[in-house]
C-alpha cells in the first residue's frame, strides 16, 4: 500500500492539518446521480467519436488515397502515422495525469485539462484532414493524440474522484459501452465521408468540443488547496513508474491490459486492408463490411458489458470476468487466422464483441480497486494508460514483421492473428494471480 499524504509533504496555504488532508483525499462514498452519469457517458461518446474515426478507419483510408496502387506503401504509411501518434499518447497521458493531480487552479484539478485537451485534439485532427503527406498527417495525429490524452487522463481519473466503489463497475461498463458505440458511429461516418477526407477528420471534432466543455461545467471538481511537494526532474521521471514489486496486483493488471490491447490493435490497425487483401473485397465493399461488422461487434459488446458490470458489482468478483473475457478475445483473434469469407468475419466479430464487452465492463473497475495510491489517481491511471497507449504504438510497427513472413507479395495475416491471439490469452491468465480483489 502507498503511504497516504501527510502534513509534512502537503500544505494548505502554507499550513495543513492531517484531518484537512484526509478530508480532501477521502474516497467517495455518496452514490453519483443519474444526471452526472449521463453527462459522463455523453462526454465519453462524443470524445471517442472524434478520436476513434482516425484510429479505426480514417488513417487507413488516407493511406490508401495517398498510395492507391501500392499495398506495401499503404501498410508502411499506416504504421508510421498510427505508431507516432500512439507513442505521443504514451507520454501525454502520464504527464497530464500527474499535472491534473497537482493543478491548483481555481477552476479545479480535472476541469481545465478537459477543455484544453479537447481543443488540442481538434487542432491535430484539422491538420490531418487538410494535409496529404505521410509526415504531415503523422504530425497531425501526434498533436491530436497529445491533446486527446491531456483530456483523457483527468477524464478517467473522474471515476476514482467521484464514483464510489459500489457503483464503479456499472459506471465503468456504461462509459465502455459509450466508447464502443462511438467506434460504430465513427466507422459509419468514415464510410459516409470516404470521398471527403477533410470532413472525415474535422467534422466529429466540433460536437466533441461542445459536449466535453459542457461536461467540464457539470463536473463537481474541487479546487486543490493542498500544495503538493515540489516536482523536480527526477520526480517527473518517476511519474512514468510504479514499482511492480511493491504493487504486484497493479503490475499484473497493467500487463493484462497491455496484452489484450496489443492483440486488438494488431488486427484493427489493418482491418480494412485485411478485408481487401485476404477476403478479396474492393475498397468500397471493405468499408461497408467494416461498418456492418463494427455494428455487430458493438451490439454484442453493449449487451455483454451491461450484464458483466451488473454481475461484477453484485457478486463482488472481478478476476474471473477479466480472465474469461481475455481468453475468449484471444480465441476470436485466432479464428481470424482461418477466416476468408464475409460471413465468417461477421461471426468472429460477434465473438470478439461479446468477449471485449465483458472485459471492459470490469477491467477499469478492477484497476481502480488496485491503484497504488488513490490520492494520485490521475498519475497512477496515467501510468496504467501506458498499457493502453503503448501497444497502439508498437502494434503498427511490429505487425509488418508478421505480415512479411513468407511471400513478400502476399501479407501473412494468419501469422499476425496467431501471435496477437496468444498475447490476449496470456493477459487473461495474469489476472488470476491478482490477490487484492476477488
What does the alpha-carbon distance between residue 212 and residue 221 come to, in Å, rounded to a whole number? Answer: 14
The tens digit of pLDDT for each residue in 357-405 reads 888 777 777 777 777 766 565 566 667 777 777 787 777 778 778 877 8
What does the alpha-carbon distance between residue 346 and residue 353 come to, in Å, rounded to a whole number? Answer: 10
Beta bridge partners of 158: none
Helix (H, G, I), strand (E, B) or coil at 227: strand
The tens digit of pLDDT for each residue in 111-156 reads 889 999 999 999 999 998 898 888 999 999 999 999 998 998 888 8
State the residue for C-alpha cell 461488422.
293
Cell digits of residue 355: 468477449
pLDDT score of 12 more than 60:
no
What does the alpha-carbon distance between residue 91 and residue 113 come to, in Å, rounded to a whole number? Answer: 15
- Region 161-175: mean pLDDT is 76
| DSSP calls for 136-148 | HHHHHHHHHHHHH
pLDDT score of 4 more than 50:
no
Separation of CA 412 from chain center: 27
Element spanning 12, H or E: strand 11-12
Percent of residues, the chain, with pLDDT higher than 90: 16
Q: Which residues have C-beta within 8 Å of that of residue 143, sequence separation ≥ 6?
A: 88, 120, 123, 124, 127
Contact of 260 with 326, CB cutoff 8 Å: yes
H helix intervals, 220-341: 233-238, 248-268, 271-277, 283-315, 319-336
Per the rule left: phi > 0, alpha: psi between -120 and 50, beta: everything else, 12 is beta
pLDDT score of 27 more than 70:
no
Q: How confident is the model at residue 8 (pLDDT cuts 50, 70, 90)?
A: very low
Q: Which residues have C-beta within 8 Å of that of residue 391, sequence separation ≥ 6?
A: 86, 258, 259, 261, 262, 265
Q: How confident is the model at residue 285 (pLDDT cuts 50, 70, 90)?
A: confident
pLDDT score of 240 more than 70:
no
pLDDT score of 238 more than 70:
no
pLDDT score of 18 more than 60:
no
Give the residue among 107, 111, 112, 103 at the shortest CA–CA distance from 226. 103
Contact of 406 with 412, CB cutoff 8 Å: yes
Q: How confident is the model at residue 14 (pLDDT cuts 50, 70, 90)?
A: very low
What does the alpha-carbon distance between residue 352 and residue 54 come to, in Å, rounded to a whole number? Answer: 21
Q: How confident is the model at residue 11 (pLDDT cuts 50, 70, 90)?
A: very low
What was the pLDDT predicted at 257?
87
What was the pLDDT predicted at 328?
93
The tens digit of pLDDT for each residue in 45-91 reads 999 898 877 766 778 788 888 888 777 787 778 878 877 887 787 77
State the residue for C-alpha cell 467519436.
49
The tens digit of pLDDT for each residue in 302-357 reads 888 777 767 777 777 778 888 889 999 999 999 988 888 999 999 999 999 999 88
Contact of 28 with 163, CB cutoff 8 Å: yes
pLDDT score of 270 more than 50:
yes
Q: How confident is the model at residue 237 (pLDDT cuts 50, 70, 90)?
A: low
Q: How confident is the model at residue 6 (pLDDT cuts 50, 70, 90)?
A: very low
Q: Just give the CATH number of 11-431.
A: 1.20.1250.20
Give the residue among 259, 405, 268, 377 at the shortest CA–CA distance from 323. 259
Instruction: Count Cα atoms within 13 angstroms, Cβ side, for 331.
Output: 12
Contact of 89 with 146, CB cutoff 8 Å: yes
Distance (Å) of CA 273 to CA 64, 83, 278, 380, 401: 9, 17, 8, 36, 16
The region of weakest confidence among 23-27, 261-265, 274-278 is 23-27
Amino acid at each position: 500500500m502507498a503511504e497516504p499524504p501527510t502534513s509534512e509533504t502537503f500544505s494548505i496555504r502554507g499550513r495543513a492539518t492531517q484531518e484537512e488532508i484526509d478530508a480532501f483525499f477521502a474516497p467517495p462514498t455518496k452514490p453519483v446521480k443519474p444526471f452526472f452519469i449521463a453527462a459522463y457517458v455523453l462526454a465519453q461518446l462524443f470524445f471517442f467519436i472524434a478520436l476513434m474515426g482516425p484510429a479505426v478507419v480514417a488513417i487507413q483510408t488516407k493511406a490508401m488515397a495517398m498510395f492507391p496502387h501500392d499495398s506495401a506503401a499503404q501498410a508502411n504509411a499506416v504504421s508510421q502515422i498510427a505508431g507516432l501518434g500512439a507513442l505521443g499518447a504514451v507520454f501525454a497521458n502520464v504527464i497530464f495525469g500527474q499535472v491534473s493531480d497537482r493543478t491548483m487552479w481555481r477552476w479545479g484539478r480535472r476541469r481545465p485539462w478537459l477543455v484544453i485537451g479537447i481543443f488540442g485534439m481538434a487542432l491535430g485532427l484539422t491538420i490531418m484532414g487538410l494535409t496529404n503527406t505521410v509526415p504531415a498527417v503523422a504530425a497531425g495525429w501526434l498533436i491530436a493524440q497529445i491533446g486527446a490524452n491531456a483530456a483523457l487522463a483527468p477524464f478517467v481519473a473522474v471515476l476514482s474522484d467521484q464514483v464510489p466503489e459500489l457503483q464503479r463497475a456499472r459506471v465503468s461498463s456504461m462509459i465502455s459501452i459509450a466508447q464502443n458505440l462511438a467506434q460504430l458511429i465513427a466507422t459509419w461516418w468514415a464510410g459516409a465521408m470516404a470521398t471527403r477526407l477533410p470532413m472525415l477528420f474535422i467534422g466529429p471534432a466540433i460536437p466533441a468540443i461542445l459536449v466535453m466543455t459542457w461536461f467540464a461545467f457539470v463536473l463537481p471538481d474541487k479546487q486543490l488547496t493542498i500544495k503538493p511537494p515540489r516536482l523536480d526532474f527526477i520526480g517527473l521521471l518517476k511519474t512514468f513508474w510504479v514499482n511492480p514489486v511493491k504493487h504486484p496486483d497493479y503490475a499484473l493488471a497493467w500487463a493484462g491490459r497491455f496484452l489484450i490491447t496489443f492483440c486488438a490493435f494488431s488486427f484493427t490497425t489493418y482491418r480494412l486492408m485485411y478485408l481487401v487483401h485476404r477476403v478479396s473485397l474492393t475498397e468500397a465493399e471493405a468499408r461497408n463490411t467494416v461498418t456492418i461488422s463494427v455494428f455487430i461487434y458493438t451490439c454484442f459488446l453493449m449487451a455483454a458489458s451491461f450484464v458483466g458490470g451488473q454481475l461484477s458489482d453484485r457478486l463482488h468478483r472481478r478476476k474471473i470476468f477479466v480472465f474469461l473475457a481475455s481468453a475468449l478475445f484471444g480465441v476470436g483473434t485466432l479464428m481470424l487466422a482461418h477466416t476468408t469469407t464475409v460471413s465468417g468475419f461477421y461471426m468472429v466479430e460477434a465473438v470478439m464483441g461479446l468477449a471485449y464487452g465483458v472485459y471492459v465492463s470490469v477491467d477499469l473497475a478492477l484497476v481502480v480497486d488496485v491503484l497504488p495510491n488513490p490520492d494520485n489517481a490521475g498519475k497512477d491511471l496515467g501510468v496504467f494508460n501506458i498499457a493502453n497507449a503503448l501497444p497502439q504504438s508498437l502494434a503498427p510497427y511490429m505487425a509488418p514483421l508478421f505480415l512479411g513472413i513468407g511471400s513478400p507479395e502476399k501479407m501473412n495475416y494468419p501469422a499476425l492473428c496467431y501471435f496477437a491471439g496468444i498475447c490476449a490469452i496470456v493477459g487473461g491468465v495474469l489476472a488470476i494471480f491478482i490477490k487484492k480483489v476477488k
